[in-house]
């Protein structure tokens, strides 16, 4: 995927290309460092278990919707 680009756009203004930022750590190394910093300094981690539970609920809704061929309650805008 060489040509993928991300732009931001505010209201009806022209889109602005968002340039990638080089990260010191990526993937597992990034997550482990975030965990280390949270444990040793008390800094809030990049993600919390609440974020991950929400992501898991979305995944379950996708599977349920696929299996039933119907939208889930989350897809209809209702909280689970």
- CA 44 vs. chain centroid, Å, equals 17
The answer to whether position 62 is within a domain reads: yes
- Cα angle value 31/35/39 (rounded, 5°): 170
Split at pLDDT 50, 70, 90, the class of 77 is low
Range of the domain at 70: 46-74
- Asked whether residue 50 is assigned to any structural domain, the reply reads yes
What pLDDT is recorded for position 78? Answer: 53
pTM of the model: 0.44
Whose structure tokens read 């909280």? 79
User: Does residue 59 fall inside a structural domain?
Assistant: yes
Domain count of the fold of the chain: 1
- Residue 21 counted as domain residue: no
Backbone angles phi, psi at 53, to 5 degrees: -65, -40
**pLDDT-based confidence at residue 36 (cuts at 50, 70, 90):** very high
Arithmetic mean of pLDDT, 39-46? 89
Give the pLDDT of residue 40. Answer: 96
Residue 1: what pLDDT? 39
């Amino acid at each position: 995927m060489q040509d993928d680009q991300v732009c931001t756009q505010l209201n009806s203004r022209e889109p602005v290309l968002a340039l990638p930022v080089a990260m010191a750590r990526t993937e597992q190394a990034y997550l482990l460092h975030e965990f280390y910093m949270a444990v040793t300094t008390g800094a809030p981690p990049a993600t919390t278990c609440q974020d991950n539970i929400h992501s898991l609920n979305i995944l379950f809704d996708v599977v349920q919707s696929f299996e039933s061929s119907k939208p889930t309650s989350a897809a209809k805008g209702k909280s689970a």
